[in-house]
Structure 1
Amino acid sequence: MARTGLFNLEKHFAFYGAYHSNPINIAIHTLFVWPIFFSALLILYFVPPFFNIPNFEFSLFGYDVALVWNPGFAIAFVYSVSYARLDLKAGSLAALLCIICWVASCFVAGLLGFCLAWKVVLVIQLVCWTGQFIGHGVFEKRAPALFHNLVQALIMAPFFVLLEVLMSLSGSEGFHSIVREKFEADIKAWQENKQQLLS
């Protein structure tokens, strides 16, 4: 049964797809979106936890890892639940990737410490955001989706690029063909509006 409202995958994918139809721009986002998500969790590791709950500690590759129940965990959890609600199969995979990013961010943060971690985060964020803006300005020739709907763009971005990869690997056109008409209509309307403004 198709979901409606907040958890309507077709609606969200069509919105995001309308801003990402150029193959080079899609490839740039595929490379850069998940590192942005990971590095955001990495810096959030150093934010104090919400509640006085003991950290979950374990050893990984001979290093001690402390999973901290802070805003990084909250964001990973919200993204995970949202993706699983949008689509059980692909969403569950995206949710697993979110949790892996959170655990990995805790591991890397423990290794680097704050003084080095924020520099790593800064470089990742600058490189990845710059790459995406180049993708939009040079190849897509359309402003990023976040200028239209910041929350929807930021939440959908990791799931969108994962869906693109899954569809290209499976060779399935089913879901993509369903939403293609929607985002092509959006692109056409945007181009017509842009033409009217220029004339």
Structure 2
Amino acid sequence: MTAYFQRQLADYVEYHRDPWNCAMHVLGIILLFLGAILPLSMWPISLFGAQITVATLMALPVLIYWLVLDTALGLAIVGVAVLLLAAAAMIADHASVTGVWITTAILIVTGVASQIVGHQVFERRQPALVDNPSHLLLGPIFVMAKLFIALGLRHDLAAIIGPAAPLSASLHPGDRRSEPHAHS
């Protein structure tokens, strides 16, 4: 894990303390990634004799970025991305062009809405990317880091972003009973 990644993650976590907000981000990130690659999955290209889609080609730079930030987390994200690229290809193969674009719109609107609800209702704070646009690329690796922590695989990450709290720790939107309270 690079020092740059540690600083970025420490800053990002300040905007993502509520477990319900994190859950909304899991949903939103998956839907937004699928929505971004779905229409690009309709265009096959030949690259060095292999058939791929524009979606795969366009996803490669960000997948490489995540691998550079943290190899283990990056590899896990690549695994999820492969599944989402396969799902997008399957949808693109079986749906009409209109169907693909309608599905894309629904995925993007739902993904963005889940992010907004997570921040406005549960976190009660603006999204991190408003203050730092580079945080747009940190969401997927943050979610994967939380999963690794929950599985007990990355204590070094837990030291930066804290332990993964179960969703039951937050009983109501904005409820912070699971956090220690300062006494005056």
Q: Deviations over 1:86-119 (max 9, x none)?
A: 1111211112222332232122111113110111
Question: Which residue is 1:145 aligned to?
Answer: 128
Alpha carbons 1:77, 1:99 under 8 Å: kept: no
Residue 133 of structure 1: which of 89, 98, 116 is its match?
116
Q: Deviations over 1:51-98 (max 9, x none)?
A: 887662xxxxxxxxxx32x2x223321121111111111211112222
Alpha carbons 2:42, 2:89 under 8 Å: kept: no
Matched residue count: 162
Task: Specify the code of the residue in structure 1 equivalent to 2:29.
Answer: V
Alpha carbons 1:79, 1:98 under 8 Å: kept: no
- Higher helix fraction: Structure 1 or Structure 2? 1
Q: What percentage of aligned pairs have identical amino acids?
A: 23
Question: Which residue is 2:138 aligned to?
Answer: 156
Matches within 5 A, 1:22-171: 22-46=18-42, 56=51, 67-68=52-53, 70=54, 72-150=55-133, 152-170=134-152
Residues in 1 aligned to 2:31 and 2:87: alpha-carbon distance in whole angstroms:
12
Alpha carbons 1:76, 1:102 under 8 Å: kept: no
Residues in 2 aligned to 1:175 and 1:53: alpha-carbon distance in whole angstroms:
38
Q: 1:80 to 1:134 in 2, by over 3 A?
A: same
Once the 2 structures are TM-superposed, how far is the Cα of residue 40 of structure 1 from its aligned partner? 0.7
Residues in 2 aligned to 1:48 and 1:107: alpha-carbon distance in whole angstroms:
13
Question: TM-score, normalising length from structure 2?
Answer: 0.76
Residue 156 of structure 2 is aligned to residue 174 of structure 1: yes
Unpaired runs of 5+ in structure 1?
Answer: 57-66, 181-199
Alpha carbons 1:136, 1:142 under 8 Å: kept: yes
Once the 2 structures are TM-superposed, how far is the Cα of residue 168 of structure 1 from its aligned partner? 1.2
Deviates more, 1:129-138 or 1:102-111: 102-111
Q: 1:96 to 1:171 in 2, by over 3 A?
A: closer
Q: 1:171 to 1:47 in 2, by over 3 A?
A: closer
Q: 1:177 to 1:104 in 2, by over 3 A?
A: same
Question: Which residue is 1:190 aligned to?
Answer: none
Unpaired runs of 5+ in structure 2?
Answer: 163-184
